Amino acid sequence: DAGVIQSPRHEVTEMGQEVTLRCKPISGHDYLFWYRQTMMRGLELLIYFNNNVPIDDSGMPEDRFSAKMPNASFSTLKIQPSEPRDSAVYFCASSLRGELFFGEGSRLTVL
């Protein structure tokens, strides 16, 4: 299995632009998580899905952030409009039976 696949690996954009991060979970996994990692705040859970349904989005910072999972093999995290404080590494992870597998992350820099 290829593992959790995230794209892009690196994104540099200007403040106010829309950013879309993508994730392909491991086939057969029924949970998908989006995390954000920064030096200041560590690893934060943003939102997670079970069988494509959002279960808890209480970690989403504000309305500028949205996440979708249209099918079992694809999820997106969108930031519109982006701000410099959104600069971070965003991780997608999927799990099955209580074991979590992470992607390599998408490093976002907002100028």
Contact positions vs another protein (CB under 8 A): 4, 31, 33, 42-43, 45, 48, 50, 56, 91, 93, 95, 98-105, 107
Which residue has tokens 């995390």? 35
Residues found in the chain:
111
Whichever of 33 and 65 has its CB closer to another protein, that residue is: 33
Using alpha carbons, select from 77, 95, 76, 74 the residue that is nearest to residue 32: 95
Using alpha carbons, select from 72, 54, 70, 55 the residue that is nearest to residue 20: 70
In angstroms, give the least distance from the CB of 38 to another protein.
12
Whichever of 5 and 17 has its CB closer to another protein, that residue is: 5
Whichever of 75 and 95 has its CB closer to another protein, that residue is: 95
